[in-house]
Amino acid sequence: MSSIGVLGANGRMGRALITVANEQQLNLTAATVRPGSDLLGVDAGELAGVGKLGVSLSATGADSIKQADIWVDFTMPEAMLAHLQLAVAAGKAMVIGVTGLTDAQYQQVQQAAKHIAIVWAPNMSVGVNLLLHLVQTAAKVMGQTADIEIIEAHHRFKKDAPSGTALAIGASIAKALDRDLAKVAVYGREGMTGERQQQTIGFATVRGGDIIGDHTALFADLGERLEISHKASSRNTFAQGALRAALWLQNKQPGLYSMQQVLGLTELS
């Protein structure tokens, strides 16, 4: 089994990854935090609350990146791109769950995938990736007459909006309807907006409390509506998917892979 490392181990997702890796008895060999952190040297298991694992937190850098074969990153775009450069230089594969990337930042991920194997996804959960297929079916059946809205809710600390998952849902629906999401997306409404244009795909964002992640695709026609929803109750859901992706990446050739491929859902398209 390939060895696995966690970048940004002190974050909420970092700790969830350590917890799930321990539960699944995976080969976790490294966990890093930013240079100068007060947590340097702390046992990763104790940080995550699962007891000593014998893996001490090290500073992210060229030396620490050599301590694992596959790295999992749920940090922030700028930090992730720095980690990506280290991984390319060391020839290490990566699983990336970072959202809020600009087009230019995503292009850097694509460029790196020419040299190393990467799984990138806006959401790592099994249920959400199945939802991405279900909304395509709904769009093909109802999309020509129904109004389509995507509603998402997350915790107060989330920095990007709409969520990467909401955008992925919109992209899946737009693809099924042969629409350009950049042209039909509506991200906010205020004042005298006039009647809704049927071709548009609306997004509504909620931020509050400790909501892990709720997403609903609404297909509202005259006389009926269909709602397809996914609600996450634990970050461990995303950690489980990410670690599943890490195991899937073992021995893969350089390239940019999706969770659809990891889960074998591409053949359902």
The set of catalytic residues is 154, 158
The distance in angstroms from the start CA to the end CA of the chain is 31
187 beta partners = none
Q: Is the dihedral of CA 171, 177, 178, 179 positive or negative?
A: negative
CA dist 64 and 52 (Å) reads 20
Cβ within 8 Å of residue 212, ≥6 positions away: 154, 155, 232, 233, 234, 235, 237
CA dist 53 and 128 (Å) reads 31
Contact 122, 258 (CB under 8 A): no
The SS3 assignment for 219 reads: strand
3-state helix, strand, coil in the chain (%, to 5): 35, 25, 40
CA dist 27 and 218 (Å) reads 41
State how far the alpha carbon of 104 is from the alpha carbons of 97, 110, 115, 119, 151, in Å.
17, 10, 18, 18, 27
Tokens of 78: 């700028």
